[in-house]
């Protein structure tokens, strides 16, 4: 089993995700959170255990900066824009050697489970796992069901996506949370020895979000990967510390 301790504290993970600039574009941003250095600083002062971003932000804001020693990096290896809707495919943009050069402690890859282009992502993802494991780098699968055959992402669909991550060899799967504890436990159960982190999603009220975080952990998750519900908040630092306190309480 790959050691996840560089990304966790007390056996739990709080990943601050910041790849939305590529995935969604500036529609997610304001004056504060459009600047990567602010989010890196937030990750450090807000109690996150790791920070995820794409290669450009990693190279320009992390690799040769003080943050390299302050917060572990998960380099997001593939990505696409929100303009790609049909047959989603997120191509590989980095190499494991680059990830190591940038100072990454782990790598992440999105698999659009059920996409007509699923085969290409399965092939890239499994190659990434083989390459990363040679250096003992953990691999996190962003497991997102996207298919004309899946009109809605029910909890059963998410459980299938989590299972796909295990079957392909991911060390951690990042999946959508649901509201029912039993369904959440089933998702974690199906991930088997792959650990589960639940994603944040669109901005909701802080109260609702913190309740969801409690549920995520009660279901047996390793932790969570959140972006907008922290750095879109009015006081991101304060919200981040509340998230931290729920995760590590």
Q: Which residues of the chain form contacts with ligand FBP (CB under 6 A)?
A: 17, 19-20, 23-24, 142, 144, 199-201, 225-229
Q: Which is nearer to ligand FBP, 76 or 163 (CB)?
A: 76
CB of 224 to ligand FBP, least distance (A): 8
Query: Is 147:115 a contact under the CB 8 Å cutoff?
Result: yes
The catalytically annotated residue of 14, 18, 144, 160 is 144
Active site residue 144: yes
**Catalytic option among 62, 67, 160, 174:** 174
**CA nearest neighbour of 12 among 240, 197, 176:** 197
219 in Cβ contact with 244 (< 8 Å): no
For ligand FBP, give the closer residue by CB, 19 or 124: 19
CB of 83 to ligand FBP, least distance (A): 12
Inter-residue contact 235 to 205 (CB < 8 Å): no
Residue whose CB is nearest to ligand FBP in the complex, by number:
200
Is 209 in contact with 229 (CB distance < 8 Å)?
A: yes
Tokens 């696409």 correspond to what residue?
80
Helix (H, G, I), strand (E, B) or coil at 80: coil
In the complex with ligand FBP, which residue's Cβ is closer, 53 or 97? Answer: 53
CA angle 178/194/184 to nearest 5° reads: 15
d(C-alpha 242, C-alpha 147), whole Å: 35
CB of 233 to ligand FBP, least distance (A): 11
Per the annotation, the verdict on 14 as an active-site residue is no
Closest CB 28 distance from ligand FBP, rounded Å: 7
* Radius of gyration of the chain, Cα coordinates, nearest whole angstrom: 16
CB closer to ligand FBP, 81 vs 130: 81
Q: Which positions are catalytic?
A: 144, 174
């Amino acid at each position: 089993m790959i050691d996840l301790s560089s990304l966790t504290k007390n056996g739990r993970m709080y990943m601050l995700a910041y790849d939305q600039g590529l995935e969604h574009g500036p529609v997610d941003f304001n004056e504060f959170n459009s600047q990567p250095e602010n989010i890196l600083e937030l990750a450090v002062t807000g109690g996150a255990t790791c920070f995820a971003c794409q290669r450009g932000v990693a190279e320009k804001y992390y690799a040769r900066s003080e943050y390299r020693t302050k917060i572990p990096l998960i380099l997001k290896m593939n990505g696409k824009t929100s303009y790609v809707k049909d047959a989603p495919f997120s191509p590989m943009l980095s190499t494991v050697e680059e990830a190591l050069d940038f100072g990454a402690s782990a790598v992440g890859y999105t698999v659009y489970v059920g996409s007509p282009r699923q085969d290409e992502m399965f092939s890239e993802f499994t190659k990434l796992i083989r390459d990363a494991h040679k250096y003992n780098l953990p691999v996190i699968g962003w497991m997102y069901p996207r298919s004309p055959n899946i009109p809605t992402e029910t909890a059963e669909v998410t459980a299938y996506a989590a299972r796909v991550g295990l079957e392909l060899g991911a060390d951690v799967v990042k999946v959508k949370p649901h509201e029912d504890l039993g369904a959440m436990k089933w998702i974690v159960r199906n991930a088997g020895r792959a650990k589960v982190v639940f994603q944040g999603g669109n901005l909701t009220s802080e109260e609702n979000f913190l309740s969801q975080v409690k549920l995520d952990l009660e279901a047996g998750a390793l932790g969570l990967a959140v972006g907008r519900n922290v750095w879109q908040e009015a006081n991101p630092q304060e919200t981040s510390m509340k998230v931290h306190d729920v995760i590590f309480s």
